[in-house]
Amino acid sequence: NDQIGIPREMTDIHGNLLWYGEYTAWGRLKKDERVYKDAHQPFRLQNQYYDEETGLHYNLMRYYEPETGRFVNQDPIGLLGGSNLYRFAPNIQSWTDVLGLEGKLTIFSDPSDFVGHAFIGLEENGKTQYIGQWPDGDGFRYKSKDIASILMSDMGGAMDFNDISHLGSSHLVSRSYNLTDKQMVKVKNYINDFNSKNTETSGYNLRNRQCASFAYGTSQAAGIEEMKMSGWVTPASLARKIRRLNKGK
């Protein structure tokens, strides 16, 4: 294999050369030299298997067209994988996508009411888990006139690992980031550490342990520089930051 995982040569158990090949930048086999006439080497870009009937590359969840450098099937995770449903990769020399899917962190924020809500989507192996921080027990007990009480109060906290209540909001904004394996580990460690501090009587406050501070914190655990914010992070301020990064969208 070469530096990006494409097979260049095939040998027998004694090290004798049976086959060698050359590829285009996007993985099409352009030179197929069989030293042994019955040699068959079906592997292409990482985890792709050549389909002789179609000429496409089988990539578990969908098929890849090496002439164009695109998948021929839409991404099974939809727009969570990006706005281009057929994209293969930003750079095949430094980015690999073993399953034809993407590991991804999405920061969501919905500032539609006085309190608002922020949460994350964590996609791994084709499955997305929506995670958010909430008050435990009786939930949020204050109204807008109780600002001082809200800021000074601590209450029980709970993490929701199926936090989908705001997904349908027309005010919801989001921004997604592909994660490396190392970033994924750091995000998971952050989530576990944050959740470990939730109890029946503590773990939630509006100063630094509410939904927006949790969602923002995951981006910083992943080392996403462009998401850095100063001051108090709320669903409203997080939504404004996301809109600026999305150029107003």
pLDDT tens-digit series, residues 203-223: 998 888 999 999 999 999 999
- Among the candidates 23, 48, 81, a domain finishes at 81
pLDDT at 188 over 80: yes
Q: In what order do the strands lie in the sheet with 29-34?
A: 9-11, 17-23, 29-34
Exposure of 133 by Cβ count < 10 A (0-12 exposed, 13-18 middle, 19+ buried)? buried
pLDDT at 129 over 60: yes
CATH of the domain at 139: 3.90.1720
Asked if the structure places residue 61 within a domain, the reply is: yes
- How far CA 3 is from CA of 6, 28, 48, 63, 93, in Å, comes to 8, 16, 16, 23, 8
- Among the candidates 66, 81, 96, a domain finishes at 81
The pair of structure tokens assigned to 203 is 């773990």
How many domains does one find in the chain?
A: 2
Neighbour count for residue 184 (Cβ, 10 Å): 17
Asked if the structure places residue 119 within a domain, the reply is: yes
pLDDT tens-digit series, residues 8-59: 888 888 888 888 888 887 888 888 888 788 888 888 887 788 898 899 999 8
Neighbour count for residue 74 (Cβ, 10 Å): 13
Of 91 and 29, more confident: 29
Tell me which residue range forms the domain holding 198. 104-245
pLDDT band at 132 (very low <50, low <70, confident <90, very high): very high
Closest C-alpha among 111, 213, 113 to residue 159: 213
In a shared domain, residues 216 and 138: yes
In a shared domain, residues 62 and 152: no
Asked if the structure places residue 56 within a domain, the reply is: yes
Asked if the structure places residue 86 within a domain, the reply is: no
Give the Cα separation of 65 and 57 in Å (integer). 7
In a shared domain, residues 111 and 38: no
Contacts of 222 (CB under 8 A, 6+ apart): 105, 177, 179, 183, 186, 187
In a shared domain, residues 108 and 54: no
Residue 101: the pLDDT is 47
Average pLDDT over residues 114-135: 90
pLDDT at 191 over 80: yes
Contacts of 43 (CB under 8 A, 6+ apart): 7, 49, 50
In a shared domain, residues 72 and 131: no
The chain-wide mean pLDDT, for the chain, equals 84
pLDDT at 247 over 90: no
In a shared domain, residues 53 and 108: no
Asked if the structure places residue 94 within a domain, the reply is: no
Closest C-alpha among 3, 33, 28, 6 to residue 17: 33
- The structure's pTM equals 0.58
In which residue are the tokens 């109890």 written? 199
pLDDT at 82 over 80: no
In a shared domain, residues 175 and 60: no
